[in-house]
Structure 1
């Protein structure tokens, strides 16, 4: 794919590893069920609507991958199949937009438009990101004096993470070696 940045490729390699929750070197439906359960556990304070939305978003993410990439019908996606598709905004953009909206809304259980650091970190560590990296990304989003970011900032950051032409974005800090 033309225009893909090294940083984008690194972000996608990491997300594949995180989505392979059961560690069998492919992404399958079971991985999305496990991931959904972990994220919902971290979002215990969120209302039923937000919880249902993230379930739908994770299911849509899997369905999109399976429909677009599982050409042999084995129910599994390899990293080689995953890489070019996920970095194609025209093909994968709507799925990521839905996922970004659902995950960012889950981080705002009181619906004030703001996400506090502890819940942000909990959600992203539930996905599998390193805690130190989650704090670095939150800091890169320039939180307010009460240590909060906007839901819109988080959603935009998620979409940027999947953008092949983007570099120097907060999401790149997810790939960096965790601070010691």
Structure 2
């Protein structure tokens, strides 16, 4: 696994541990889902249900694949070596990428405006300066929008163990200047 990917794993674990208790459990995904839905007030019921299902699938996949001792929680040691495994998590990542990027497009025009992108990513737990750096790396148009497809691909790339120099790397550590 590349160094960049390892840093992304550490960040994802900290975000998934939404209640900050040092492990990931079902309650963390309920908390994160609630935060994201609060930010997605303009989205329709179908988009909201899709993100609920995507978060639930994340937890189900983590619990099934990574909870080695069956205690109902996933520790960093259980999480670290496997979460970027495309064979185990590829479909889950794709479902999540599709649901989250669609949630960012409530008017269905195929474009995501920066303010909603910022709200959704903040609800997940990313740092504001890093979110702006990511959005800029996606190459927004003159009206400060990115495509749904660009964001979905960016999410999938974020979970790829062999990629480096991707826009998602801006979410880890200090933002690019």
TM-score when normalising by structure 2: 0.97
Once the two structures are superposed, what CA deviation does each residue of 1:15-42 show, in whole Å capped at 9, x if it has no partner? Answer: 1001101111100000000000000000
Q: Do residues 55 (structure 1) and 52 (structure 2) align?
A: yes
Question: Are 1:16 and 2:13 an aligned pair?
Answer: yes
By how many angstroms is 1:92 displaced? 0.7
Partners of 2:104 and 2:116 within 8 A in 1:
yes
Shift of 1:56: 0.1
Alignment-derived partner of residue 92 in structure 1: 89
- Residue 161 of structure 1 pairs with residue 158 of structure 2: yes
User: Are the aligned partners of 1:54 and 1:106 in contact in 2 as well (CA < 8 Å)?
Assistant: yes
Alignment check: 8 A CA contact 1:101 1:155 kept: yes
Tell me how far 1:83 sits from its aligned partner: 1.4
Instruction: Report the CA distance between 1:85 and its aligned residue.
Output: 1.7
CA RMSD of aligned residues (A): 1.2
Of 138, 143, 153 in structure 2, the residue corresponding to residue 141 of structure 1 is: 138
Q: Deviation digits for residues 80-133 of structure 1, max 9, x if unmatched?
A: 111122111111110000000000000000000000000001100100000110
Runs of at least 5 residues in structure 1 that lack an aligned partner in the other structure: none
- Tell me how far apart the structure 1 counterparts of residues 149 and 81 of structure 2 sit (CA, whole Å): 27
Q: CA deviation at 1:72?
A: 1.9
For structure 2, list consecutive stretches of 5 or more residues without a partner in the other structure.
Answer: none
User: Does 2:35 correspond to 1:38?
Assistant: yes
1:175 aligns with 2:172: yes
Residues 68 and 78, structure 2, Cα contact 8 Å, conserved in 1: no
Q: Give the ranges of 4+ consecutive aligned residues of structure 1 lying more than 4 Å apart after TM superposition.
A: none
Aligned length: 177
Post-superposition Cα deviations, 1:130-156, rounded to whole Å, max 9, x if no partner, equal: 011000000000000110000000000
User: Which residue number corresponds to residue 113 of structure 1?
Assistant: 110
Partner of 2:101: 104
Q: Is the 8 A contact 1:19 1:27 kept in 2?
A: yes
SS in 2 for 1:46: coil
Determine the C-alpha separation between the residues in 2 that align with 1:145 and 1:53.
30
3-state DSSP of counterpart to 1:84: coil
Identify the match of residue 69 of structure 2 among 65, 68, 72. 72
